[in-house]
């Protein structure tokens, strides 16, 4: 799966900032589905809990936190300690989106939680707060 993830990351690295004005192909939609399925299986998170994030409802659920970490790690933009590679995320995005994404990433990239899973949730909350109109979750 990791060989396909740069394409997914280019569209999803910012949990939706990249989705603004970008149409997904059927292959890209399938990759997103595979990523979601794999990380749901790994963490046991409920799909409704994931979907609630789309409207800014981030449950304080260890499974959700680790699901978010899983998606970022599968996209190779978060390390085992929960540090976000904002430069990698930015480089994967289409050039037309980079000017919008860069200040948001810079505002959120250094935020940390109690552990890597918690850091993934903190990062997502920040992205949502900075650009709710573009936010989405894998």
- The predicted model scores a pTM of 0.84
The tokens describing 97, both together, are 């989106």
Cα–Cα distance measured from residue 7 to residue 5, given in angstroms and rounded to the nearest whole number: 5
Query: 37 exposed, middle or buried (CB, 10 Å; 0-12, 13-18, 19+)?
Result: exposed
The tokens describing 102, both together, are 């860069």
Report yes or no: 15 and 127 within 8 Å, Cβ to Cβ: yes
Q: For residue 31, what pLDDT is reported?
A: 84
- Better pLDDT: 21 or 59: 59
Report yes or no: 136 and 54 within 8 Å, Cβ to Cβ: yes
Q: Which tens digits make up the pLDDT trace of 79-104? A: 999 999 999 988 877 788 889 889 99
Report yes or no: 86 and 109 within 8 Å, Cβ to Cβ: yes
Mean pLDDT score across all residues of the chain: 84
């Amino acid at each position: 799966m990791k060989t396909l993830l740069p394409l997914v990351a280019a569209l999803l690295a910012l949990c939706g900032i990249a989705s603004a004005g970008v149409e997904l192909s059927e292959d890209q939609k399938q990759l997103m589905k595979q990523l979601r399925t794999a990380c749901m299986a790994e963490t046991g998170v409920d799909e409704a809990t994931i979907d609630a994030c789309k409207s800014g409802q981030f449950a304080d659920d260890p499974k959700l936190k680790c699901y978010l970490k899983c998606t970022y790690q599968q996209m190779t933009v978060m390390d085992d300690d929960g540090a976000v590679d904002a430069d990698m995320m930015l480089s994967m995005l289409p050039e037309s989106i980079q000017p919008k994404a860069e200040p948001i990433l810079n505002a959120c990239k250094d935020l940390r939680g109690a552990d890597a899973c918690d850091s993934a949730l903190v990062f997502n909350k920040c992205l949502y707060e900075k650009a709710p109109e573009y936010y989405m979750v894998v």
